[in-house]
Structures are given as structure tokens and as C-alpha cells.
Chain A
């Protein structure tokens, strides 16, 4: 009986098996990813000893003051101040043996050059040993090794004006602080003497004031104490939790995604299993009735069917697990590269086995539940009526009478009638295509939105053609003057505005806080505000969304800012969204207050007929002290790596969504056609042709999928934005209101057409299966 079943429903059983294999495979891989991340991270942290609290600072420091602070605070076990020379990518050239040199100017990463630390926060090589750098040698971050396919023996040249220095790549650096590809900074390692030479001739020094604590959980407390103790704070403060997060985020997301997909696949396999079993019961109900009639117990009948699915589940989970065991190295390659190799031992095998056993148990549990209905079927029900004991339906009120509702097209009438009477069942198709529409639209909408130049508004930037930034501290004022002079004379530039940024002290809800303020005149380059407006006169300030929450201020409130020792009042005129600088920024009207400037930002518009790309290139080549980008490239550069992987994931999701949509439709229609077999046979006898039957299924498939797709499009363009906004505001990334910038042709034409083609194609294939049966065979069966 079972071989016959397998042969008859080969496709369904193979599909069921495939889904089980995939679920088990992904569960295994997900487990390995998590285990590899945690154990590799544990290993690298134990050798490298990353700081528990780190404060970046640009400017003068008093090492004695720092030491005094460290001595004062009980939790501090060790303190170290690391000097880091930041060099722009345009001044760094990589040369492969026998090839032309390329600069690292296209990289958005901040490139810091350091020497090996003394007591903790060590930079390691690929064997996770602490590097002792030789003179003339350089250790290059793993990120660049992968990006540019660098090899030992290649060279890195640093240039600035007349100064040039070439180093040979002797090792690749594993950095416990900046191990992830999502970190925005990387560190190159030089020998002590080479570092001194670079420091004298290149860039500006930034300090990393680092602390190791007796208890890492006290990092936030130490940070608060530090910030309130008049310590050097001209930069970002980072705690151990953030370091761990940055290191584990990418792989955490990967593992999380795999496990979620595995769970989704388990659910789909569960659907598949349910449909398969129900269809088999429908087809074999008379055989089951006969078995009951001759005295075979419910338990034995159940056991016969369960055996088959137990075998399928065991084979599926077993194969999936074995493939996962062998393939996991591929998925953990990036983690092992970034964090180091660590043998996972027997634990990994056991833990992954447990996760797969969960998949097996779930399938068996479901199988048992569905097959329980065999117990409720009586012999008469099975043999005489061919009923499978599904829940008793209420006696339907006679609706949709033919006299009243059938206009002329009998096929359409029968289809719609069937759809309405069995709406609970057909709801599945509606839901499947609703979800498929979401999967097709949401990631693409997100990518389209983030890639769009208008998204720059969410980065605290104005709408403009060009974005320029001067961060190099040396001669920043002169550089800015030089740049402004050029902009003024440049016929390609229509208009521009200069904005300067610095950090100040303010009073928040929890006491003193540091606030980063950008000063300028916003009339030509206004910021899009969620609430209120851009500041228009002296004494006005707009806050970022996160700063609004942190400082407890909103539009109309007054903010006190300490400038050169004096508290000044600023009226909050607007709240805007900003994902940069952790989301904590502010924009005030006027010229820079205070002595020091942290950076200059210039927005500019190009004259008509000039492309921003060309102008940006010219300025990039002319001025090495700044970054310049066409605004349309701003977001793609900033989110480049995330967009690239998200892009791939989006296309894969689309294919997966279509395949799943098609599969579930096939399974559903198979079940429906099994249930409606007798009805179809009757219609055939009455004179309905195979074409008529096919048309009825197509109409039902079209209507159900159309409703799902329509609802999906409606949701994606309305409610979904609120959901994404909610998630983003919980995630604290600086966004509270999110608006999709959609591609209308994709959203309203391409996507629905593709889904409809899939729905109808699959329905048609299933409907054509009716050709196998001759009328009399259908009646006899």
C-alpha cells in the first residue's frame, strides 16, 4: 500500500522529504554558527583582552589625570592610552606584486595606525597569537585582506605630500574590538619605531583611552563616572557590551536568520505533511473502513500510517543533519576568519543533534495529531459515505441559489460558490500569497528606500548634490578656507553651505550629558523634521529623535548648553531623524561656538548640466584632506555592505517565496481535488468537459491569489511602514518614522504579475492532472 502511495504521490513525498532535509540542515548550521561565534569570541577575547570601556578622544590629554581617575575607581584593573594615527584611504596605497597600486580611497572605513599595546587590547595574527611587529612590516586588517585579496609579501605605501613610506605586509590583524565587517574603523599594526615616524609625518593622533575592569558589567557605571569627571571626551565612548555586539552582530543575524528560516521551513513541512496525510486519508478512506470492518484496531491502523511518516522524517532529518555537519565549515568560514579558529568538540555535535531531534519530534507529534482522526471515523462513515471524520459542518443555509446568483457563466458561478462555501480552506491561499507579496515587496522596498538619495534625510543630511566632510584636525581651518575659496570660484557649483560640528555639555534628564552640535545656516539646505522646523535664527536648535528621548526635550522646550564655561539657552524648534553618530546629534543656527571644531560638513548643489559624480571626482583628486561624495552615493556607501548582502538575501527570498507559494498551492489543490473527486466526476458525467473543470480551478485560484496579493500590496504600502517604524524605534537606531520610497512599477505591476503567473501556472498544472482520469474510472473510484 505504501509503495503504491509513494509512486502515486511521488512529487508530494519527495517535496516533504526535501523540506525536512532543509529544516534539519538549517537547524544544524544555525547551531554551529552560534556555537562557533561564541567559542571563537571567547577564545579571541581571552588572548586579546579587549577593553571593557573605551573612550575615543581627539585633542590634548593629560595622562596623569587619566591615571588618577583609574586609581580612584575601584573597578579599574588596568588603564592604557593608545595613540592612533588616522590616515585617509586616499593616502594609503596597496600594491600587489607585479600589479599596479590601488588606493583605499573608496573605502568608507576609518583607517587607524597603531603600535602593539602593552597590557591589553592586543592585536593578534591569524593564529590568534599576539603580534610582535618588525620594523618595515605592517599588519593589515582582515577586512582589507578579503576585500582586496591581499597576500603576505604585498606592500602598503603611505603618502602625504613629500612623505612616502612603504611597508611589507607581514601579517593580517585580528582585532577583538573591530573584528566584525560591520565595524566602521580598522587598525593597521606597525612596529614601535615605524609608528613614531608615521605619527610625526602623517595625519592626526586620536587617543583610545581604555580600561579593563575587575567586573565587566560595571562598564556603563565607569563610563558615566568618566563622563562626569571632566575627563577627555572629544569622541565616542564604547563599552564591552557594544564591542561584543559589534563582533557578534553579523554572525548573530546569520544564525538568527537560519533558525528563523528553519522554523518557517518546519512549518511549511508541517503544512505539507498535514495536506499529504489528509489527502491520503481521503483517497484511502474506504480501505481504512474495510480494515476497521475486519477488526484491525485503530491503534494498529494509526501505527501503519505513522510508520511511513516516521521513516520519512527520520531519513529527512538524518540527511539534513549529515549535510549540515559537513557543510557547516562553509557557513562559519567568515566567523573563523574574523574571530579565529576554535575546535568545537563533541558539544557542537550533541547540541546540533538536539536541535534536529526537535524537528523530528515536532513532525511526529503533528503526524500523531492528524492521524488521531482515524479513531473517530466509523465503519459506516468510511465505507458508505467515504467521510474522513473532519469536523461536522453546520447545515448550511441555502445561499447562492442558482436561480438568483447564476447569471450565465456556470463555471464562474460554481467556482465562486465553492470558494465562498469553502472560504476557510481557501483562506490558506489568500494568506500564502499575502505573505509571498510581503516577502517580495518589503526587502525590495527597504533596499530601494535606503538606496534612494532622499534617504539621506534620515542621516541628518539635507537634500543636495554633493556631501563633503573635513575631519583631519591638522590645519582644518586653513583647509576649510581653501575649499570654500575653490567652491566660490567654481562655475560648476550653484550654491553651498558650510556647517561646523563640536561637542558641548548640556543638562539631560539624568544630569550632565555631552551633545554633538552642528552649526550653520539651513535656509538653502533645510533638514527634514518629523516635528517642527529647522532652526532659522540664533538661539534655535533642532534635536535628533534619540536626543529628544535622552534629553527629555521636545519642540518648544529650552535646552541649556555650556559653551566656554557659560550656560546658554537654546529653543528646540524641531525634531529630525538621524542614524549617524549613534543617532545623538543636534543642529543649531549660526556660526560655531567655542574654540575647537570637530569637523566641517559642506553641502553643495551643482549647476545644471554638471554631474555630481564628475565634480566629486575632481574635488577628491584635488583635496586629499576631505571626503567628498555625490549624495546619491552617500547611503549606498554607508550601508554598502549591508545593502549588498541584503540585496542577495532579498532576491533569494523572492525565489523562496515564489517556490513556497507554488508548493503550498500545489499541495492545497491536490487535497482539494481529492476531496472534490466525486463532485468532479458528477460534473463530468453531466457534460462538463475537462476544460470546464480546469476553468473552475483557474477561477478559484485566480480569485484567492488576487485577494491575497491585493491585501499584501495594501499592507506593504500602509501598515507595514508603521510596523517597520515601530521596530526601528525599538532598535534605537535613530529612526522613529519610516516611509518607504517605492518603485511603483515593481510594487504595482511586476510583483503582482509574477505572483499571479505563478498562482495560475501552478493551478493550471494541477487542474490538468484531471486529464489522467476517464469519467467512468472517476465514478468507480
Chain B
């Protein structure tokens, strides 16, 4: 499998006078189709790492190669195009646009990217919404649906342009247990179809769904755990293994 993401010696500092180094020379690689979770205590730098490797934040020094391209020095226009066409993002909050239906929210990036014509976009949106079980509320606005439906819409929006990678920052953080499970099942499903996923989470059960878990402490990768591809029948086993491993690390 080829590498889709390579991060080399990522350093990130905050502050002018009293500088705080949040990332201390991180090296990491992600293979195409891999499902990677980044974990760590609060303040370990996991979200910072995610934003820096995805190009959402500017690192202090280091290099990130995504899909063969060095994204460290790209200008805003090129970086925006990258986010539009090759990356998908989901967050703890869905950040859907108000005064727009769920369908329009999903359609928006596709209309912007213009990878295909309007008719084809419409079909893709309809298929995606069916797969995400939100086709019945397609014409609803965001204040008329549940949190889970909103998060699924956000996933649909992130996937509509068939990105090469999906980034997520605590995507289940605001959801209840059953909705969390729904979202995790969707993520596993799309990963099985070949989507590369990099998530940040503090939830061991969510982490257990990944192929690999990276553990961050004080801005450095201290350990990683390979779990292999997720299978439903191994779920309990994976959760136990993950919990034990995390306990050893002091999580």
C-alpha cells in the first residue's frame, strides 16, 4: 500500500514571548486506506497534530506530504482546493449552514468543486443520503433534525467530493452512545470501501475501531498499537485490548 500522508519533524509553537511547544518533532505516516486514531491526555497535542497534518493550521517547522504533494508551503488558494477536492473534515459540532436544507448542505461542496454536472451531483447526493439514512429528512433544515442526523449530514458533506482522506476531530464527542455507534459503523463502512481516515478521540471504544492507534504525550508519539482491520465479531476483544494498552500508558 502506498503512503498517502507523511509528516516529518512537525514542530508547533504557540505564543510570542512565553513560547509553548505543543508538538515536538512528530514523525508519522499513514497508508492509503488505513484507519488511524490519535489519542492522548487532554493537552497532549492530539488536535493540534490533526490540524497541522491536515493543513488547517500552519506548523512552526516540518514537512507534510499529502498524496505526493508538499502541503507545508501551499498558498491559501491551492490549500483551499485541496480541502475541497481531496480532503473531508468532520468535527465534534456538525457546523452545518443555517437556512439551508440538509440536502443543500451536502450539495454545496460538490457544486463548488464541479467535478460533475448538476444532475450527477443530485444523484450522488441522493445515494449518499440513502446510505446515511437521512434521505427522509433531506429537505429539513438543521433546527428540525436530531444531533445524530446532523452529524451524518456532516459526514455526507465531507464525503460528497470523494476525498482521499477523511479527518475527524472528536466526531462523536457530542453524541450519545447509540448515535456514536451509528457514526462509528458508518466510518468503518466507508473505510472498508478504501477511504483513509485519521481521527482524534478520547473514547477508547471509538479508538478500538481503528487499524492503528497513535498515543501522544507532551507533544511526542510515545506508543502505537496495531489492531488490524475491524471486524464486528472482534469488537469486544479489540476494546479490551485497547483499554489495557491505554491503561499501561496511564490514560
Residues of A near any B CB (own CB < 8 A): 395-396, 398, 401-403, 406, 408, 410, 413, 417, 421, 678-679, 681-692, 774-776, 779
Contact = CB atoms under 8 A, between A and B. Distances in A.
Most B CB within 10 A of own CB, among A401, A408, A776 = A776
Given A403-B103, A403-B122, A684 B80 contact: yes
A402 B111 contact: yes
B181 interface: no
B95 A779 contact: yes
B192 interface: no
Contacts of A408: 114
Given A402-B111, A686-B89, A686-B108, 16 more contacts: A395-B143, A396-B141, A402-B104, A402-B108, A403-B122, A410-B108, A413-B111, A679-B98, A686-B109, A687-B85, A689-B79, A690-B80, A692-B80, A692-B112, A774-B57, A776-B56
Top 6 nearest A-B pairs (CB, nearest first) are A687-B84, A689-B80, A687-B83, A402-B104, A776-B56, A776-B57
Interface string B72-103: 00001101111111000101000111111101
A80 to B, nearest CB: 80
Contact of B112 (A410, A776, A779): A410
B46 interface: no
Interface string B59-83: 0000000000000000011011111
Given A402-B111, A686-B84, A681 B56 contact: no
Nearest to B109: A686
Nearest to B121: A403
Given A679-B98, A774-B57, A690 B76 contact: yes
Interface residues of B, number: 37
B113 interface: yes
B107 interface: yes
B100 A402 contact: yes
Given A402-B108, A776-B51, A688 B80 contact: yes
A398 B139 contact: yes
A688 B98 CA distance: 17
B209 interface: no
A43 B214 CA distance: 93
A408 B118 CA distance: 9
A525 to B, nearest CB: 67
B212 interface: no
Nearest to A681: B95
B124 interface: no
A402 B105 CA distance: 9
A685 B83 contact: yes
Max chain A CB contacts within 10 Å: which of B103, B107, B112? Answer: B112
B58 interface: yes
B95 A687 contact: no
A477 B244 CA distance: 126
B152 interface: no
A686 B112 contact: yes
12 contacts: A395-B141, A396-B141, A398-B141, A402-B107, A421-B99, A686-B84, A687-B85, A687-B113, A688-B84, A774-B57, A776-B51, A779-B95
A398 B97 contact: no
B238 interface: no
B76 A689 contact: yes
A413 B51 CA distance: 30
B196 to A, nearest CB: 18
Contacts of A775: 56-57
B31 to A, nearest CB: 24
Nearest to A396: B99
Contacts of A396: 99, 141
Chain B contact residues: helix, strand, loop or mixed: helix
Nearest to B167: A685
B108 A689 contact: no
Nearest to A402: B104
A468 to B, nearest CB: 72
A779 B58 contact: no
B77 A691 contact: yes
B166 to A, nearest CB: 13
Contacts of A691: 76-77
A689 B84 CA distance: 9
Contacts of A774: 56-58
Given A402-B108, A406-B111, A774-B57, A687 B80 contact: yes
A543 B97 CA distance: 69
A83 to B, nearest CB: 83
Given A406-B111, A690-B76, A401 B104 contact: yes
B55 to A, nearest CB: 9
Nearest to A421: B99
B101 A398 contact: yes
A686 B139 CA distance: 21
B109 to A, nearest CB: 5
A403 B129 CA distance: 15
Contacts of B97: 679, 682-683
A419 to B, nearest CB: 12
A417 B101 CA distance: 13
A687 B109 contact: yes
A687 B84 CA distance: 4
Contacts of A410: 108, 111-112
A687 B112 CA distance: 8
A689 B95 contact: no
Nearest to B100: A402
Interface in B121-136: 122
Contacts of B79: 689
Contact of B56 (A403, A417, A678, A685): A685
A395 B82 CA distance: 35
Contacts of A395: 141, 143
B136 to A, nearest CB: 16
B71 to A, nearest CB: 13
Contacts of B122: 403
B137 to A, nearest CB: 12
Nearest to A686: B109
A686 B56 contact: no
Nearest to B107: A402
Nearest to B101: A398
A679 B77 CA distance: 19
Contacts of A687: 80-85, 109, 112-113
Contacts of B77: 689-691
Most-contacted residue by chain A among B81, B98, B111, B139 (CB, 10 A)? B111
Contact of B91 (A401, A421, A684, A779): A779
Contacts of B103: 402-403
A774 B80 CA distance: 12
A692 B111 CA distance: 14
A395 B76 CA distance: 36
Contacts of B141: 395-396, 398
Nearest to A405: B104
B154 to A, nearest CB: 10
Contacts of B100: 402
Nearest to B125: A403
Contacts of A413: 111
Contact of B95 (A398, A685, A692, A776): A685
Contacts of A689: 76-77, 79-81
B76 A686 contact: no
A779 B103 CA distance: 23
